[in-house]
């Protein structure tokens, strides 16, 4: 289903507010360097899927996810205070794999480019 303009606007606002809450209000030491890449909101605005990217090792990513999940109720309350919605959406955090996939694709392209250059020099 194509997201409506309102769903997109609410998602963008949630993304902005959550980024500020994580930066300024969240004190959980498990939460490392997090970037909120996108927020998908359900048509009834009751659920928000928050796509995140985390800089660090696999262990740091797991710890960050645990910290975000445990802080979700706190962040939801903070969102409710900041946003004028009838219902504040439930927050579900998931990793955004697209950034890592993109970086992997760039690595592959670079290696192909290097192999191609090496192959030209041998002839």
End-to-end CA, the chain:
54
**CB-CB neighbours of 20 under 10 Å:** 12
Confidence band (pLDDT; 50, 70, 90) for 2?
low
Name the phi and psi angles at 36, rounded to 5: -90, 115
Q: Residue 16 is encoded by which pair of tokens?
A: 């902005």
Instruction: Assess whether pLDDT exceeds 90 at residue 57.
Output: no
pLDDT value for 86: 87
> Where do the DSSP E strands lie in 18-89?
33-41, 47-55
Q: What angle do CA 65, 9, 75 make, to 5 degrees?
A: 35
Task: Give the pTM.
Answer: 0.78
pLDDT value for 106: 87
Confidence band (pLDDT; 50, 70, 90) for 54?
confident
């Amino acid at each position: 289903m194509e997201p409506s303009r309102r769903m997109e606007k609410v998602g963008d606002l949630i993304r902005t507010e959550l980024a500020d809450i994580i930066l300024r209000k969240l004190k959980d030491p498990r939460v490392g360097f997090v970037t909120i890449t996108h927020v998908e909101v359900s048509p009834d605005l009751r659920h928000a899927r928050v796509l995140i990217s985390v800089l660090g090792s696999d262990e740091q990513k797991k710890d960050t996810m645990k910290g975000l999940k445990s802080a979700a109720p706190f962040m939801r309350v903070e969102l409710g205070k900041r946003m004028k919605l009838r219902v504040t959406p439930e927050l579900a955090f998931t990793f955004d794999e697209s950034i890592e996939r993109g970086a992997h694709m760039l690595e592959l392209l670079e290696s192909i480019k290097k192999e191609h250059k090496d192959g030209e020099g041998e002839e």
